Structure 1
């Protein structure tokens, strides 16, 4: 099966062609700069100790015009068919994931400094980019046109995001300590939320009525209609404040550490404290909701991870990892969990049994720190972002075929 999968992969990516319908839809599509198929290695077994080594193909995405560029920012489209990324430059590359072809390079009348954040509209193939040049740009990625230029921040933009309904865009600048909310159709700035200290992340609720902003030790909730402050989410004791938003964008989970470690779940709309969990172990840096919102996952400093019922707080499953994990990702259907144990290869587990499935080895030359893990909407493609180097895509379905 190992050779069969490798042959299938080689055949698919060796025969990439650009058709007339491709050119009609993507005038800028090209074979140059396409995702590169390369050899990887996976260890598969009933347990980590019994795992056997197999070859596994993967796709690598980088800027072929300057492969030395390292740090990347990326976003995937809502349907999981497109990947956009920028690599320490002002160009934005967009690939079609079915065959890895580069369908667009966004740069004409674009940014004058490095791109620092990307976000796809949840309703179409419109893309917004934020940059160190203090502007955000809304792009039509099919023809490469600039649709809107959002200007008004006094410092580099550090984060951009669409609201769940696609009608609003929010932008954030650390330097001017503000989040601006814009009309995504007209580019009008609707409101500026100013803060007295640094905001590291933000999110908009599912009903598009709330802006939630994460500070170093708390979370602030604002009403987007009245622009008034609703609540502050804060633990009474503890440090290392972490948060995660449910996929339904209706609740927030926060954690603090060290002793006493504490987990809290809050309403994203009212700020109500819904549940408190006191775990018996010291928590580490990762916390996440399961895709259906029924569980939360926390990682611990001793190399374990535990899921809890998000309504009752009762523990459900435990995962025994080789080291403390600093990155986690659920597949959208909730079947798989990917972990990045510190200084160890990526590991994938079955969520129903908490059983080890595979370890995806990163070669010595790519020994950079993993900054982000993300399953795409097909539930089988795992995207890995390092602090430097290319974006790597692994097919978990190929891993299961090797079992």
Structure 2
């Protein structure tokens, strides 16, 4: 089966061509700098200890103009069709994931310095980028033209995101908590606030657009999106927050502290709803399952990951990957949970039973995994490293070999 799957992948990518329809949709599409297939390995078996190695193709993306530059940020369109990434440079590359063709390079009248954050609009073929030049740019991806610029005043644009309805853009910048909310269609700044001296870790809107959250070093701010009024600042009493996540229904937040505790908070009031004490040191990430029934946290002390019932705090499951997990992600359909370790390998488990399924073994140059993310098909995982290219692994291919 491994030869059959490899042949299928080779044949599909060898036949990719640019059609008249492609040129009509993407006038700048080119074969140069397309994503390329490479040989990889996957270990499959009833347990990690009993797994056997097989060959499996994987897809990698680099900027051929700067091949030694690692990926600094990426974003995937809501339909899972497009991938945008920047590689420690001011250019932004956009690929079509179905065949890996480069459909756009965004650079004309663009950023002066490196791009640090990217976010696709959920409703249009539009992308926003944040840069070290203190500016966010909203791009028309089809034409490659700049629609407008969002000018900050407190330092590099570390985070940029669209609201789920595509009507708002949030930007976060500076050493102090400087956040601005912009009209996504006009570029007008609707609200701004500057908080305490805390680095911004992340920004998030609730799925229904009702609330907006800013995660900083020791706590997070919750704001009402309609009035921009601050609702609450959930925080652990004395601990630094290691990780946090908004549930998919948008009514709760979960975070983990350095003192082994996971807490779940009300998004509407900031009230503490549940505190889960774990006997050993917890680490990042902490995430809700796709149905919000469970929360997952990683335990540094014994290299495990644990899930708890998000309503009762009851222990549900313990995952025991062979290496210390640095990143974790669920597939959107809830079938899989994956763990990436610092060495770059990706362990795949059945999220419902906790059964080990496969380990994707990455290259020697893939170190210091920074981020893993499923695209919307629930079968494909993107991996970003501190050093090395952006890589894409297909879980479905591995499952066909089991």
| TM exceeding 0.5 | yes
- 1:350 maps to which residue? 350
C-alpha separation in 1, matches of 2:228 and 2:344: 45
Residue pair 1:130, 1:158 contacting (<8 A) in 2 also: yes
- In the alignment, is residue 340 of structure 1 matched against residue 340 of structure 2? yes
Superposed CA deviations along residues 373-398 of structure 1, whole A, max 9, x for unmatched, are: 10110111011000122100011000
- 1:86 maps to which residue? 86
Superposed CA deviations along residues 161-216 of structure 1, whole A, max 9, x for unmatched, are: 00111100001112453001000010000111111212222212233232211121
Residues paired across the two proteins, number = 400
- 2:168 maps to which residue? 168
Equivalence map 1:369-384=2 (5 Å): 369-384=368-383
Deviation, structure 1 residue 223? 2.3
- 2:228 maps to which residue? 227
Query: RMSD over aligned Cα, in angstroms?
Result: 1.4
- 1:297 maps to which residue? 296
Deviation, structure 1 residue 242? 2.1
- In the alignment, is residue 202 of structure 1 matched against residue 188 of structure 2? no
Equivalence map 1:3-402=2 (5 Å): 3-175=3-175, 177-198=177-198, 199-258=200-259, 261-301=260-300, 302-343=302-343, 345-364=345-364, 366-402=365-401
Give me the TM-score of the superposition, normalised by structure 1: 0.96
C-alpha separation in 2, matches of 1:103 and 1:243: 34
Residue pair 1:205, 1:269 contacting (<8 A) in 2 also: no
Q: Look up the SS of the partner of 2:37 in the other structure.
A: strand
Structure 1 spans left out of the alignment, 5+ residues: none
Residue pair 1:265, 1:276 contacting (<8 A) in 2 also: yes
Q: Look up the SS of the partner of 2:204 in the other structure.
A: strand
C-alpha separation in 2, matches of 1:225 and 1:153: 24
Superposed CA deviations along residues 129-173 of structure 1, whole A, max 9, x for unmatched, are: 011111111111011111111113231111100011110000111
- Which 10-residue stretch deviates more, 309-318 or 158-167? 309-318
Q: Look up the SS of the partner of 1:333 in the other structure.
A: coil
C-alpha separation in 2, matches of 1:128 and 1:6: 36
C-alpha separation in 2, matches of 1:177 and 1:367: 33
- Which 10-residue stretch deviates more, 117-126 or 343-352? 343-352
Q: Look up the SS of the partner of 2:157 in the other structure.
A: coil
C-alpha separation in 1, matches of 2:143 and 2:87: 21
**4+ residue segments displaced more than 6 Å:** none
Deviation, structure 1 residue 269? 2.4
C-alpha separation in 2, matches of 1:238 and 1:188: 37
Give me the TM-score of the superposition, normalised by structure 2: 0.96
Deviation, structure 1 residue 240? 4.5
